[in-house]
Structures are given as structure tokens and as C-alpha cells.
Amino acid sequence: MQDIVIRKAKPKDSRAFLKLVRELAKFERLKPPSESGKRRLVQDTFRTKRLKLLLAFSGRVPLAYALYFFTYSSFLAKPTLYLEDLFVLETYRGQGIGSRMFEMLIREARRLHCGRIEWAVLTWNSKAIKFYEGIGAHQLKEWHYYRLDESRISKLARKGI
């Protein structure tokens, strides 16, 4: 296998990115994005730049990606790098690709003076949990995450609270 290159994604990487997103959906046992969802992902990553994306390649073969964006902490008065996805194809796990990508995210957070990095991990993903705890991350026990899905948002927007 050729050397692995990790870099910021370019618009020409859209197909490789979407292929990896489909693989993540399989891994997480979820439905992949619809055609319109794929278009929004590409647009939000490369046109509106709401999302940031790192890709790992061996030659032209996409191996992994990290998708992230920024939120803000009013108490720290600093940005937070929020890691939405960090995914490595199963065949390439255990080769340090995910660790290298995470190191790049740490450097990016430091460069931008972020007060923290946050992410969510599925409770059954024990390998990821072991990695994150191994680098000193801690599970937040004092917070519960809540979610309103798109249909509920629409109902609330129409009817109010």
C-alpha cells in the first residue's frame, strides 16, 4: 500500500467523501443520505463552507474522513470544534489513520484558539470509546443530549410551543 495522505478536502473529492459517508451509514446501521441529502452535504462542505472535511487517501483510494464544524461556548468565550464524524474503512483500521486525523483536528483547534473539542460516540462503539478515553477525553455525565427531528421542528414552527 502506498503512503497514506491526509489533507483538507477539495470539491473534486465529493464522490470519495460520499462513498465514505455511505460506508459509515452501513457501519452505524443507518440509512445513507438521500440524493438531495448528498447534494446538501457537498454544498455545505464546499460552497457554503458550513462544514470542514479532512480525507485520508492511499493513492486515489479514499480510506477515511473527519467532518467537523464550529460551535461557541458563551462561558469560555471561545469556539468549540465539534467533530461530527470520524470514520475509517474497516480494512484500514488499526493503522493509525484515525489517530493521525484526530491529531490534525487537535492542531486545528489549537490554531483557532478553541476552548474545547466535543463529539458524540455510539454506546456500542467500544473501540472508539477506548481510543478517546486513552487520550484523556472524558464522558460528560452531567449533560443529556436532546434532539428535535425535522418533522417535530416543522410542527413546532407551525403550531408554536
In the chain, what are the domain boundaries? 4-159
Q: What is the pTM of this model?
A: 0.92
Q: Which sequence positions are flagged as catalytic?
A: 132
Low-confidence ranges of the chain (pLDDT < 70): 1-2
* pLDDT for the residue 144: 86
- Residue 15: its pLDDT value, please? 97
Hey, what CATH class is 4-159 in? alpha beta
CB 5 within 8 Å of CB 53: no
Residue 22 pLDDT: 98
